[in-house]
Amino acid sequence: MADAATPDTTAETLAFPQGFRWGAATAAFQIEGSTSAGGRGESIWDVFTRTPGLVIDGSNAELAADSYRRYRDDVALLAGLDADDYRFSISWPRVQPGGTGPANEAGLAYYDRLVDELLTAGIAPVPTLYHWDLPQELEAAGGWLNRDTAYRLADYAGLVVDRLGDRVQRWITLNEPAMTTLQGYALGSQAPGHALMMGSLPTAHHQLLAHGLAVAAIRERGDAEVGITNNHTLMVPASDAPADQFAAGAFDLIYNRIFADPVLTGAYPDLSGFGLEAMPGLEDGDLELIGAPIDFYGINFYNPTLVAAPREGSEFAAAGLPFEPVEFENVPTTGFDWPIMPETFTELLVSFARDYGDRLPPVVITENGASFPDEVVGGAVTGAVHDERRIDYVDRHITAVRHAIDQGVDVRGYYLWSLTDNFEWAEGYTQRFGLVHVDFETGERTPKDSYAWYRDRIAASR
């Protein structure tokens, strides 16, 4: 392939529509470290990481990428990319340690400094209010199974917007509620680690209600833009067999449509195939809140999903579910073993525009990227990281976004996940997504070849 720092000029076009915004994304628990500094409270992820056997390498996020202390270094890296936007998240337990009551001044002051540093560098802050780090005190009271948690998030949102709203023009309410429901409450592979299967569904509704309440809280405080970020995947049936076709449709409903339809159409999809007449926890007036107009819709995309009818004896069959994700054959994969099929990204985006029509606001790709086992070659000062596979992945997925735009999808921005290597949830420090390599013992940052490539790709796209 071309030199790592040189954009792929063989693509049909490098230019994107005028005003298209480029950036990078991170999350507070994954990068900040200093988990006990400045009066920060305990989150469900602090508890999860202390439980033996739940994090693959037994690690925790006390240091992570050390961004709580090194945030100026990270802003300088963003400026070096000539990024338009920085999508980061605000730590709920750093701002409101127990999830209720007044704000923690030290926590708000940290985000004051970060926002001011970004604006001084000419970079727009795009904060996510909730990126999975629920205060542990709220989890002890039922977490997202408890409807009251939605109202607590709205109160927290008000505290943050009151402090930062004079400088922040775009907000994201929640990140990937599907993953909280499916991994955190249904399967137990992420915090808080419950394995409730279909009993997890109330958490989906309560998160979406929290989104609606947070939108209202932001709207009450000014005219900033607001959206939500959902993780979406294209469901590919394992075969033409009716059972596999049905399975793909069922998984699409539970993974994609339950989280998109209420926001974009004001209604849940038909859940009768799961033996439900209505979404558990739904009350009068909820859908009006959830379906209130938003200014943009954030889509996170990493890979498609191959879906089959559940195999006899599998955990999906045992749980009575009509689907089971299976592996693609003869498809290249990332370090996470996720299939690399960028054409499915285009297909997903086109399907959203087709299925939701004028109910779909402008789309922002709020996460897209890939983990690979990167290594620094050379010393700490002169070292380099040659990550050609990441460059290839990102290049092909940016091109996939361009193809979707050419087919009429209104995509307004692309944020690469992630700016730096980080604490990758239950995978600990075993997966690296960053444009910048982080030494997790010292915090030392080494820009990878993909960093220079992305910088030049942004320049060529304008």
Tokens 């890939």 belong to residue: 370
Average pLDDT, the chain: 95
Question: What pLDDT was estimated at residue 212?
Answer: 98
Query: What is the rounded distance in angstroms from the CA atom of residue 334 to the CA atom of residue 162?
Result: 41
| Nearest Cα to Cα of residue 448 among 367, 373, 374 | 374
Measured CA to CA in angstroms, residue 423 lies from 37, 55, 252, 336, 338 at distances of: 18, 10, 29, 14, 18
Q: Would you say 425 is a known binding-site residue?
A: yes
Query: What is the rounded distance in angstroms from the CA atom of residue 230 to the CA atom of residue 211?
Result: 11
Q: What is the pLDDT of residues 349-401, one digit of tens each?
A: 999 999 999 999 999 999 999 999 998 887 655 679 999 999 999 999 999 99
Tokens of 67: 């961004």
Domains of the chain: 21-461 (3.20.20.80)
> Side chain identity at 288, as an amino acid letter?
E
Query: What is the rounded distance in angstroms from the CA atom of residue 29 to the CA atom of residue 135?
Result: 12
The model's pTM is: 0.96
Number of other residues whose CB lies within 10 A of the CB of residue 440: 19
Catalytic residues: 176, 367
Q: Would you say 171 is a known binding-site residue?
A: no
Instruction: Pick out the chain residues at pLDDT < 70.
Output: 1-13, 379-382
Q: Would you say 30 is a known binding-site residue?
A: yes
Does the CA dihedral 431-433-439-441 come out positive or negative? negative
Q: Would you say 302 is a known binding-site residue?
A: yes
b/e 418-430 (16+ beta carbons within 10 angstroms → b)? bbbbbbbbbbbbe
